[in-house]
Structure 1
Amino acid sequence: MISLTSPVRTRAQDWPAAAKLGALLAATTALFLLPGLWVQIAALAAVLGLYTLPGRVFLRHGLAQLRVLWPIVLVLLVWHALTGDLPDALRIALRIVNAVALANLVTMTTTLSDLTEVVHRIFAPLRRAGLPVAVIEAGIPLVIRFTPTLIQKGRALHQAWRARSSRRANWRIVLPMTLLALDDADHLAEALRARGGISPFED
């Protein structure tokens, strides 16, 4: 499995994970409450500035993680261009990019164990109330861990297709990608069962 943690050591990695998640929540809320296009553009400039501060390696690594957003942005722009509302498409696309980029910035500067500990503390009241939150607590770090793995496998499938055909892969790699994801999920389930599984009421 591949971690989303930055390969470059930054000052932000010493900051409390709870504070970073709180700042992320506040910033994301502000992005969705402030509708102006120029607000989103200014936010994008600020986000790029945050990615640039730790250096070129950090910037390249961070932007590489965001390349998966371009199909979503493209679909939004094309659809709204056809419906005659391109400015709204730009606002939505910039809002999505800014929000995901900020979240990516947090995961790059926070260890998975620190994120898991914050989630554990957040769910403490629900756990004391007797709700089965252990499965959710285990699922969140698993999603964070396996997302870059699936992205890497998707790129490998795309490269394998290009090596064997002159046609674009497009939807043709959806089925093998789905099978790979299901195979990974099956192996993970077996590993969890071998370790006793996860009790929904685990402390």
Structure 2
Amino acid sequence: MLTLTSPVETWAHRWPAGGKLAALAVATTGLFVVGSAWVLAGAFFATLALYLSGGGRFARAGLRLLWPLWPFVLIVGLWHWWSRDLTGGAVVVLRMVTAVGLANFVTMTTRLSDMLAVFEWLARSLARVLPPRRLALAFALVIRFIPVMLERMVLIRQSWAARSPRPARWRVMVPATLAALDDADRVAEALRARGGAG
């Protein structure tokens, strides 16, 4: 739970964490500035090329992390199809999938300790208010937990579908919340066993 770094070594693993996080910030900002579906499609295929550059095993692992997005893609697609704005729907979907794909790529190729060091350096200006290491740890864990919780939601929905013909809808919120609390408790125990947040 504390790391989602891919065991498959790629060229991106050797890049510094600060450079990758800065590139991610610039890229995601660009995704929301650009309004052309064609340009966003190019960014999406460029992201796929990034995954493929790490080999088949790495690419398959990255695509599995994107799978939990399908309910959001479906909802956005249906809404824009109903409102007859397919171009607008394509823009939203491409932005979302590409941004998450890029974030997952950085997460898969960056060790938690390296990411933590970058956030700790950025948080030094807040040292008088909040210990930089704690703030950095909070940021790093949020980034790590997002794909994990998306995958957990998919598993809960699949479990519901296997047991009931009714759609899950809001009913998955309680088990998802309990799972999140359980994961948080396990992470807290692991941190205490390692000496705490510092």
Which band: TM-score by shorter chain? 0.7 to 0.9
CA apart distance, 1:33 = 1.7
Q: Please tell me whether the aligned partners of residues 158 and 169 of structure 1 are also in contact (alpha carbons under 8 angstroms).
A: yes
Distance 1:172 1:154 in 2: 11
Structure 2 partner of 1:56? 56
Q: Give the structure-1-normalised TM-score.
A: 0.82
Equivalent position of 2:108 in the other structure: 108
C-alpha separation in 1, matches of 2:7 and 2:194: 30
Alignment of 1:30-179 (within 5 A): 30-127=30-127, 130-132=128-130, 134=132, 135-151=134-150, 153-179=152-178
The CA distance in 2 between the partners of 1:142 and 1:3, in whole Å, is 9
Q: 1:133 to 1:87 in 2, by over 3 A?
A: farther
Q: Mean alpha-carbon deviation: is it higher for 11-20 or for 175-184?
A: 175-184
User: Which structure has the greater CA radius of gyration?
Assistant: 1
How many residues are aligned here?
Answer: 197
Q: CA deviation at 1:108?
A: 0.6
Moved more, 159-168 or 45-54: 159-168
Q: For 1:149-183, what per-residue CA distance to the aligned partner results, in whole angstroms no more than 9, with x for missing partners?
A: 54554455445434544545444332222222234
Asked whether the equivalents of residues 77 and 89 of structure 2 are also in contact (C-alpha less than 8 Å), the reply is yes
1:65 and 1:2 mapped to 2: Cα distance?
16
The code of the aligned residue for 1:91 comes to: V
Whose RCO is larger (CA < 8 A, sep 6+)?
Answer: 1
In structure 2, stretches of 5+ residues that fail to align are none
RMSD between superposed Cα atoms in Å: 2.6
Opposite residue 105 of structure 2, the aligned amino acid is: L
Evaluate the alpha carbon distance shift between residue 138 and residue 171 of structure 1 in structure 2; reply closer, same or farther with a 3 A threshold: same
The residue number in structure 1 matching 2:19 is 19
Residue aligned with 2:58, SS: helix
